[in-house]
Structure formats: C-alpha cells, structure tokens
Structure 1
Amino acid sequence: MSILITAANSAPAYKLKKLLNNDNVIMGDHMDLPDFMLKPGKLIRLPDPKSTSYTHEMLTLCLDMGVETVYLFRQAEVDLLLESETLFNEYNIKILVEK
C-alpha cells in the first residue's frame, strides 16, 4: 500500500517524505507543477479543492493508487477531507494533518 503526501511543491512535504523513508510514497499537488516533474511519475496532479466533487475525486484517486494514508498540508484540503474522514475510514484510508 502507498502513502500520499500533498503539497508536493513545498519543503515540509519533502521533509516528511525523507522522515517516512518509504519506497511507496506518492507526492502530489493540485497547484501548478512543471511538466518535467510530472512526466517521470515522481509527482502526480491532485484534484483541486475548489472542485465541487473534490472529496470523491480524492477518494477515487486513493483507491485507484492503493493509498492507505494521506498526509495533508494545505488548509483547504484539511477542511474538506476531515469532513469526510468517516468515508475514507470505511475504505481503510487514514487522513493525517501536517503543519
């Protein structure tokens, strides 16, 4: 199973990745990422929290990629996904907030 870390274009996200020391870490961001970073598969583009279906898009992405833990860094993501934490828990996906 994989771990998803959001805010991939931020230093705290990379610090967490290094601390986790896990080969199954996926870095993602909904903000603009250069194409050269996306093409090698090192980073993925996440759904935008402004989307009305953001929660369902994130759940689908987690299920499709076998994500069991999501580390959130941005407040917009935190606000929306914590409202749906019960739904994610039903699929054994943990939502964790990082600061």
Structure 2
Amino acid sequence: MPYTLITAATGALAHQLKQALGDSALLGDYRELPAFMIASGKMVQLPNPAAASYAHQMLTLCLDRDITAIFPLEEAEATLLAEAAQLFNEFNIVLHLPDDL
C-alpha cells in the first residue's frame, strides 16, 4: 500500500492532515519521538534537515517505505525538498510544497 508522509508529526497541523488523508498517511518527525510510537509503526523517525545528505536520506526512506507523496510542514524541510524536486520526480514521489517556495 503506498503511503503519504506528513512531517512535523508533533504538531497539530500534521494530525489534522492525517485525519483528512486517512490510513494511507504516515506521520514522521526528525525530532525525538516516543519509541512506542515508532515501534507500533504509527510514526516514522525522519532524517534531520541539518544533515548534508537530507534529500537523499528522505528519498531512501520513501523508497524503502513505499511513500509516494510528502507533505513537508516545516520550512527547512520544504526548502531542501524543493531543491531536490527533480530527484523525487524521477521516482514518481509527489512533493506537496507550500506555494511561497
């Protein structure tokens, strides 16, 4: 089953978006998440946007977890993913980026 990844899992907007998208949505965050949430598969630990290879780490995560779309809710994540949009397009991964990028 293909998934949609929503970042900033600790924020209210992420939970609202997940509710709207249903079971095909995965929540993820680069900040520390409760181990039981990761173990249960309800949340995904994401790479830190400060990492030099952030976009490639995210692409690997998407390919490994069958993620076909990403809603990056934090500006740093969205900016870095926008810079790598061509790479994600090559793998048919849709980036839902804010209009102001």
TM-score by length of 2: 0.91
In structure 2, the residue matched to 1:10 is: 11
Q: Secondary structure, in 3 states, of the residue corresponding to 2:68?
A: strand
In structure 2, the residue matched to 1:27 is: 27
User: C-alpha separation between the residues in 2 aligned to 1:32 and 1:2?
Assistant: 22
In structure 1, the residue matched to 2:53 is: 53
Please list the CA deviations of residues 14-62 of structure 1 after superposition, one character each: whole Å capped at 9, or x if unmatched.
00011112x2211100011122222211111000000011010000000
Q: How many residues align?
A: 98
Percent of pairs with identical residues: 44
Contact 2:78 2:98 in 1 (8 A): no
Unpaired runs of 5+ residues, structure 1, are none
User: C-alpha separation between the residues in 1 aligned to 2:98 and 2:25?
Assistant: 15
> Aligned-pair RMSD on alpha carbons?
1.4
Letter in 2 for 1:2: Y
User: C-alpha separation between the residues in 1 aligned to 2:70 and 2:35?
Assistant: 23
State the shift of 1:98 in Å: 5.4
- Stretches of 4+ moved more than 2 A in 1? none
Letter in 2 for 1:32: E
Please tell me whether residue 94 in structure 1 is matched to residue 88 in structure 2: no
